[in-house]
Amino acid sequence: KGYSSTVIQKVFESGESLIFTGSDEGEALQSKSIVMHNLKSIMVVPMVVGGEFMGIAYVDSSLAKGLFNESDLEVFRSLATQVAVGIKNARLADQEALQRELQKDLELTAAVQNMFLPRTSSESFGDVQLHAQFRPAALCSGDWWWYRRQECGSVCGIIADVTGHGAGPAMLTASVATCFILKELEASDLSLPDTIKRAHETIHKVASGEYLMSLFAFQINPERTKLEFWSAGHPLAVAVSKNNEIELFGSAGRMLGMSDFKLGYGERSLGKGDRIFLYSDGLTETMVGEGRMFGERRLMKFLTASNDLPGDKLISGILQKVDDLRETDRQDDDITCLVVDVGRS
């Protein structure tokens, strides 16, 4: 109370320091507060640091006209600059503290998410070997993968990708993972596709369409002669035979969480030495030289050229190839690769 808002507004709009020396000027400015409070001297300075407006420093007196002069104004500017720097530093310190807290939260979210991933990235089930690598673009990821050997001897696995990456998708993958973990804990008789449908219901209810999940699941029969697969809007899988014959395969489907969700189904025969390669779209959609994506054709060429490599070495080689060709230093999307080898030594 008691200050001149008109003068402050003028300084705010002009960005210039001002001195006022009497009520006559107040009348000229049409400032009621100057006249009402009999303000005889006013000095106002904008507080600016590096072009950023931080506020206004204001001082007035009702004792005498002409109390402030240019020398006073210069001192006041210096004080205002010091105050502005202090305010900015305090804000930066607050922002840094907030960033540290957010970083801790993200690290905790990432740690929790990792608990829902398989404990090992390589596993052998007799003549079936699985190798995977999960590489998030940030601390938290929207990608998720999983595998299990059923009591009947069949081997099944899943690779999934929630739209986006970060804390939100990571939390959603954890809720989906819970559907499959509970199935095991409860010794549920739900089939793999039924569990996938239950995961869809969870996403649809929790995310309400804000997040969606693509998914590719497979099941290899105990005799290792047949592969059943289910797809929900996920990139096609790649099959590579021991003789380097290559084929893309999949089935039509709609992503988990969509109101018109549909789980596609298909099956194919398996031969000794067959390799199945699954991946999230962060791999093929990585932008490489000349503004092009890494793409499926480049991927298939690499898979056939490196067909003799063990599964873990194959994945490492692909990721290294992507890194070598990537346009930017920063990985833009989560990448997960899963290799399934049948009857390979």
Specify whether the CB–CB gap between 228 and 249 falls below 8 A.
Answer: no
47 Cβ contact partners less than 8 Å away, ≥ 6 residues apart = 53, 54, 55, 56, 57, 80, 81, 83, 84, 87
Report the DSSP pairing between strands 143-149 and 246-249. Answer: unpaired
- pLDDT by 10s per residue, the chain, length 345: 667 788 888 888 888 998 887 655 544 555 566 766 677 888 899 998 888 888 999 998 888 888 888 899 999 999 999 999 999 998 888 888 888 877 776 676 667 767 778 888 999 999 999 999 999 887 777 889 999 988 888 999 999 999 876 777 888 888 888 888 766 645 566 789 999 999 999 899 888 888 999 999 999 999 999 999 999 999 999 999 999 999 999 998 999 999 999 999 999 999 999 999 999 999 999 998 777 999 999 999 999 999 999 999 999 999 999 999 987 878 888 999 999 999 986
pLDDT tens by residue, 75-94? 999 999 999 999 999 888 88
Cα–Cα distances in angstroms (integers) from residue 195 to residues 9, 176, 192, 345, in the given order:
64, 10, 5, 32
Cα–Cα distances in angstroms (integers) from residue 82 to residues 43, 153, 283, 294, 326, in the given order:
17, 74, 51, 53, 46
DSSP codes of every residue in 43-55: EEEEEEETTEEEE
Whole-number pLDDT of residue 26: 46
pLDDT tens by residue, 4-60? 788 888 888 888 998 887 655 544 555 566 766 677 888 899 998 888 888 999 998
Alpha-carbon distance of 134 to 121, in angstroms, equals 9
Q: Give the single-character DSSP code of 73.
A: H
pLDDT tens by residue, 236-252? 999 999 999 999 999 98
Alpha-carbon distance of 237 to 254, in angstroms, equals 16
Phi, psi of 156 (to 5 degrees): -130, 160
